[in-house]
Amino acid sequence: MLFLLVCLPFLGALAVYPASRYLHIHPSLVSGLTATLGLILVIHNGMAVYEGDLLLNQQQWMPAIGLSLSFRLDGLGLLFAELILGIGVLVIFYARYYLTEAEAGPRLYAFLLLFMGAMLGLVLAENLLLMLVFWELTSLASFLLIGFRRQDAEARQGARLALFVTGGGGFALLAALIILGQIVGSYELSDVLTSRELVANHPLYPLILVLFLLGVGTKSAQFPFHFWLPHAMAAPTPVSAYLHSATMVKAGIFLLGRFFPVLAGTDLWFYLVSGMGLSTLLLGAYYALFQHDLKGLLAYSTISHLGLITLLFGLGTPLGEVAAVFHVINHAVFKASLFMAAGIIDHESGTRDMRKLNGLFKYMPYTAVLAMVAAAAMAGVPLLNGFLSKEMFFGETVALSWLGEASWHWLFPLAATLAGILAVAYSLRFIHDVFFNGEPRDLPKLPHEPPRWMKVPVEILVVLCIGVGMFPNYTVRPLLEAAAGAVLQQPLPEFSLSIWHGFTPPLIMSLIAMGAGIALYGGRKWVISVHDRLPLQLNGKWMAERMLESLFSFGAKIDRLLDNRSLQRYNFLLLISAVAVGAFALQGETLFGSGEATPASIPALVGGFLLAAGSVTTAALHGRRLVAVIMLGLVGLITSLLFAYFSAPDLALTQLLVEIVTVILVLLAMYFLPQTTPPVSNLGLVSRDVLLGIVAGIGVGILCYSMLMQQGESISSYYLAQSKPGGGGTNVVNVILVDFRGFDTMGEITVLGIAAVGIFAMIQGLVLKGPRQDWRGGAWARDPHPVLLVTVSKLLLPIALLVSVFLFLRGHNEPGGGFVAGLVTGVALILQYIAEGSDDTRPRLPWNYLGLIGAGVLIAVLTGLGSWLFGFPFLTTSFTYVTLPIVGKFELASALLFDLGVYLAVVGTVLLILSGIGGLSRREREA
């Protein structure tokens, strides 16, 4: 159920575009309905939560790393889910009237839903790792939303800054939660939340806390990471209203509440969290006063309010948590409505600059009243919701100083009052500067009331402000109790939500804040001029950008160091790294086991010597290319003998045939390539490479020797024992290929096909110039049809084809099979090409070679699928025996059909490659 709920916005995001493109349904309708449906589901499921139930929904995903698709719905999750979906519905509704179709389009609504889904997943996740996944997703989705106006440089920069800061914090959070999960031994929240003793006494606790707060602080714009938030105002206003009231910036706050039962209650928590909150509270409030942009004011005030909530969490008192949760709700409600009001003003007057906006009351009285109520709630005026939580906040700071644990705790009520004064002053500025204070100055548009429906979301929110402010016990109390209970994980303290508590210290603080705030606003001209003359202006954006820049230039330096656009050098680095890694891995290992060595025989020594000599000669004489190719051919042939000598007839056959086609291939290519390699003058470089080669050779040699001297049981006895009864064949290698490991083989012929397709593509349109003379300077022989070869090849063809059929059919029991038979056929046909030229041969082989490869792979796949029809797993073999003359009794198995696929793919590949390269010379003649 919860899983579906989280999926819902993502599904909606997918549906937005097709619905608007093909069904002409306005994207806001799809997204609005999605959000509304989600809200209904949450409210419906939330009924049980009020009773104190906890909905858990667990499902395995990747148990090996502790990641599960588990979701939980408790009070805290319920509160946030309702905010996310409820305000989401209003924001979508608002955006519908705020943005024209050309401005928004399906893209905006899809992003909004994506973001909504990410937030929902975050607040409902039960598994820590799952939570992190959604956390990162919110960062990404907000990046897309902030940078929505992608043609606007400021929006792009703001989006990048937000991603840089919050993404960086995400890393820290990742580390924190992983350590946390490792300590607890489980990534499930239910286990983590009950492990406070274990975690708080763990030596890594300070590290966890710091990393955790880095994640929280960056996301929730806490000092000193607050600077990204004002720049995120480049987003369209509906996005700002959503991200900066109820969702994005509240994600960090949510985590504070979520992990409060595990991490809070220590001195370190108190100092770090309340310190961060306190400085953010004051700094945000101070800067808010000096903004000239309406949205800028709201942005800094958001920072300040987030600081307030963080501070409350930092205090760690039960009543403080209730206040914190309460303020989360209130802030979301009044800030969303204020952003929307600011958007309306911007929309109808064309500017957000408070130096130009004055006296708008005359032009839009109705909007003005709505905005004034919301701003009053922000200031903490009685009868509105902001007053109640601010009162509780004041009360908590007073209580803290009265407890008198430390003498300097009197700072808290002082700072709270100061922040209150500033809040009153900036709220007053929002009201008075914009709606009164003379006449508007050269506005781009003549302001007027917005369309009726644009005001509806603001109205709803303002009504909520008043409703909660006047009748808190009937409106918000159940939700608040459920959410605060989930944060505290213990019985709630007694608290009363009422407007009049008597003449208490908090009330006095409120009165001081009101009076001093009004006075401060009165003297604003002087205050602003003093502020403007302050020499020190903190500019976090500038610092972050410098950091980013130096990071990039550092990266570019490293890049230049490694990359001089030379593949040869890459190769060197790659190989030397491989050698280094190998040497490192072998360090301290017992290299040589006690395996018994078999005595060397004379033929083996001779073969070995030839093989070694052949490879060294290939390397030494690579400048004389024809000689090198002959040497390489020698190496291939002896390798084939080696396989035969050590009881691998299938390998010997395959190697022999591949050697033939490889030599043909290389010779064909040599025709176009230069015939010699110019000698290299830099001897230092040569000796460097020789040295690396020798080191690598010694390393591989040691590795090989140590491997051969190990003793151990191979897993192959299973294959040997099961080959006949299970696979129906006696040639175990072939049975492994087409049966036991048939899936691998299927992949391998597919790879082969892909290589062939790549080659086909590269050959297209390739015209090369051949040489006019050979490397000795003699004339190039052009005898197209040597009679001897033509005669022999004609004779050979039917025999070769017959042999390949023979090899193919007996493959399951004796050496042979699809690979070998395919190679034999390929070689036989290529011989025709060589003898008679492609002009004569091609018409006689009227197949499309690419099609041949495709058919081969397809047959292999279909054979595998065929076993599904009979209810067996993919690639199950069934077989029966048939007797043919000469070949003898052989098995007719579905594996044979599979082998046919292999055969066709191999034939197609060989022909495609060789005839393709061979054809180049004809193109050259024509060109």
Applying the rule CB under 8 A, the residues between 752 and 791 that interact with other proteins are: 752, 755-756, 758-759, 762-763, 766-768
Q: How many residues bind other proteins (CB under 8 A)?
A: 116
Binding of residue 628 to other proteins (CB under 8 A): yes
Binding of residue 100 to other proteins (CB under 8 A): no
Which residue of 597, 683, 779, 781 would you call a contact of other proteins, by CB under 8 A?
597
Q: Point out which span in 211-219, 221-229, 256-264, 654-662 binds other proteins (CB under 8 A).
A: 654-662
| Least gap, CB of 923 to other proteins (angstroms) | 11
Q: Point out which span in 48-56, 143-151, 601-609, 803-811 binds other proteins (CB under 8 A).
A: 601-609
- Within 421-460, the residues that bind other proteins by CB under 8 A are none
Tokens read off for 899: 């082998």
**For residues 586 and 690, which CB has a smaller minimum distance to other proteins in the complex?**
690
Give the other-Cβ count within 10 Å of 667's Cβ.
Answer: 15
CA distance 175 to 383: 44
Tokens read off for 519: 């006075």
- H-helix segments, 563-648: 567-586, 602-620, 625-645
Which residue of 245, 655, 804, 832 would you call a contact of other proteins, by CB under 8 A?
655
Which residue of 2, 55, 344, 737 would you call a contact of other proteins, by CB under 8 A?
737
Which residue of 40, 558, 591, 673 would you call a contact of other proteins, by CB under 8 A?
673
| Least gap, CB of 633 to other proteins (angstroms) | 10
Tokens read off for 246: 């109820």
Which residue of 751, 799, 802, 884 would you call a contact of other proteins, by CB under 8 A?
751
Binding of residue 392 to other proteins (CB under 8 A): no
Which residue of 25, 415, 666, 887 would you call a contact of other proteins, by CB under 8 A?
666
**For residues 286 and 645, which CB has a smaller minimum distance to other proteins in the complex?**
645
**For residues 585 and 680, which CB has a smaller minimum distance to other proteins in the complex?**
680
| Least gap, CB of 867 to other proteins (angstroms) | 20
Binding of residue 342 to other proteins (CB under 8 A): no
Cβ atoms of 229 and 221 within 8 Å: the answer is: yes
Tokens read off for 571: 């190769």
Phi, psi of 213 (to 5 degrees): -70, -30
CA distance 828 to 259: 73
Q: Point out which span in 160-168, 323-331, 629-637, 879-887 binds other proteins (CB under 8 A).
A: 629-637
Binding of residue 580 to other proteins (CB under 8 A): no
H helix or E strand, kind and range, residue 72: strand 71-73
- H-helix segments, 290-317: 294-315
**For residues 304 and 863, which CB has a smaller minimum distance to other proteins in the complex?**
863
| Least gap, CB of 841 to other proteins (angstroms) | 19
Contacts of 918 (CB under 8 A, 6+ apart): 668, 833, 834, 838
CA distance 70 to 127: 6
Residue 892 Cα to chain centre, angstroms: 49
- Within 209-238, the residues that bind other proteins by CB under 8 A are none
Binding of residue 904 to other proteins (CB under 8 A): no
SS3 882: strand
Binding of residue 708 to other proteins (CB under 8 A): yes
Residue 77 Cα to chain centre, angstroms: 25
- Within 516-575, the residues that bind other proteins by CB under 8 A are 564-569, 571-572, 575
* Contact string (CB under 8 A) for other proteins, positions 715-734, x = contact: xx--xxx-xx-----xxxx-
**For residues 216 and 628, which CB has a smaller minimum distance to other proteins in the complex?**
628
**For residues 318 and 649, which CB has a smaller minimum distance to other proteins in the complex?**
649
Dihedral sign for Cα 293, 298, 301, 306, please.
Answer: negative
**CA 278 to each of CA 104, 195, 395, 612: distance values in angstroms, whole numbers, following the listed order:** 38, 29, 15, 76
789-804 burial: b if 16+ Cβ within 10 Å, else e: ebeebeebeeebeebb
Give the other-Cβ count within 10 Å of 406's Cβ.
Answer: 10
Give the other-Cβ count within 10 Å of 359's Cβ.
Answer: 16
Binding of residue 632 to other proteins (CB under 8 A): yes
| Least gap, CB of 596 to other proteins (angstroms) | 9
CA distance 408 to 386: 28
Which residue of 473, 498, 601, 878 would you call a contact of other proteins, by CB under 8 A?
601
**For residues 558 and 700, which CB has a smaller minimum distance to other proteins in the complex?**
700
Phi, psi of 356 (to 5 degrees): -100, -35
Binding of residue 883 to other proteins (CB under 8 A): no
Of 60, 58, 59, nearest to 73 (Cα)?
58
Tokens read off for 924: 């050259």
CA distance 305 to 221: 10
**For residues 556 and 694, which CB has a smaller minimum distance to other proteins in the complex?**
694
**For residues 80 and 849, which CB has a smaller minimum distance to other proteins in the complex?**
849
Annotate 129-148 with DSSP letters as a single string: HHHHHHHHHHHHHHHHHHT-
Q: Point out which span in 184-192, 508-516, 671-679, 834-842 binds other proteins (CB under 8 A).
A: 671-679
Of 550, 690, 561, nearest to 619 (Cα)?
690
SS3 317: coil
**For residues 283 and 910, which CB has a smaller minimum distance to other proteins in the complex?**
910
Q: Point out which span in 35-43, 172-180, 465-473, 697-705 binds other proteins (CB under 8 A).
A: 697-705
Q: Point out which span in 306-314, 356-364, 651-659, 831-839 binds other proteins (CB under 8 A).
A: 651-659
Calculate ∠ Cα 70-76-77, nearest 5°. 40
Q: Point out which span in 174-182, 291-299, 504-512, 687-695 binds other proteins (CB under 8 A).
A: 687-695
| Least gap, CB of 766 to other proteins (angstroms) | 6
Q: Whose structure tokens read 């059909």?
A: 897
* Contact string (CB under 8 A) for other proteins, positions 132-161, x = contact: ------------------------------
**For residues 407 and 647, which CB has a smaller minimum distance to other proteins in the complex?**
647
